[in-house]
Amino acid sequence: MDQNRIDTASERAEDMMPHRADDATANAPANDALPERPETDRKPGVGAKKHFSCAFVYGPGAGVVMNTDSLTEKRVALVLLARPDVVKLENQVGFIWEARDGSTHTHFFDFRATMVDGIRVAIMVKYDAKLKQEEFRAEIAEIATQVTPEFADRVTLMTEKHLDPIDVFNATLFNSVRHPDDEADAIMRQTIRRLNGAAKVGDLIAHTGLKGRGFRSIARLIGSRELALQERVRVDYDSLVMRGVA
């Protein structure tokens, strides 16, 4: 099953609901500004023919471009960007390390995440199959031991097996609807202020009459923690939401 599809049991909602999280397009920034170029120590090979690569835009306003070398990298980035405890995410951060023969090399950490408590985490993203290679495991262990607090407080490695499809789906959706729709968002905020307990996403949309704009607004409010999912599920018309803590 395509992890990027939104499953829904309600056929009446299909005309309002995006088939893919990426299709839930948001309003363009009012000033039509171009997104900022990424600041990296290495530029991933976007457009490579032998493996997946991509560029996507994230963040408020016109946003910032992020380039990734693999689909797993892109998914890790989106999930990290959606986490409330991550305040900054750097991409392709160079670190100089010394091999056992005395030669020096530069390892580019795929990400460096700064957490709300100030802790910085250097993140390697690899395919799980790569971990079966003894030489690779020895190399990344050597790199990790040389990382100092000036660069990062700890090092972690992530593979596709560390990603939950629910997190990937919702994070992709949140990023795709990141631009506000002032009118729809104001109506939805007014509606949820009167919310006691939990309500179905579809019922809130029906109450406001906002249709697809209502779905995107609810996704934004979940992403900003103004709404919260009652259970750990993909956001769809049958999801139950309640007021959040934001």
Express each pLDDT in 196-228 by its tens digit.
Answer: 999 999 999 999 999 999 999 999 999 999 999
Query: pLDDT confidence of 16, banded at 50, 70, 90?
Result: very low
Query: Per-residue pLDDT for 31 more than 70?
Result: no
Mention every residue, 6+ apart, whose C-beta is less than 8 A from residue 78.
56, 58, 168, 171, 172, 175
The Cα–Cα gap between 43 and 66 comes to 10
- φ, ψ (nearest 5 deg) of residue 229: -70, 135
- The bridge status of strand 120-125 relative to strand 199-200 is unpaired
Query: Per-residue pLDDT for 242 more than 80?
Result: yes
Tokens of 151: 């660069």
Query: Per-residue pLDDT for 191 more than 70?
Result: yes
Angle between helices 165-176 and 211-223 (to 10 degrees): 110
Query: Per-residue pLDDT for 43 more than 90?
Result: no
Tokens of 91: 């991409």
Mean pLDDT to the nearest integer, 216-242: 97
Query: Per-residue pLDDT for 18 more than 60?
Result: no
Instruction: Tell if the pTM clears 0.85, that is, is over it.
Output: no
Mean pLDDT to the nearest integer, 41-59: 75
Q: How far is CA 7 from the centre of its chain?
A: 19
Tokens 């009446």 belong to: 12
What pLDDT, on a 0 to 100 scale, did the predictor assign at position 47?
58
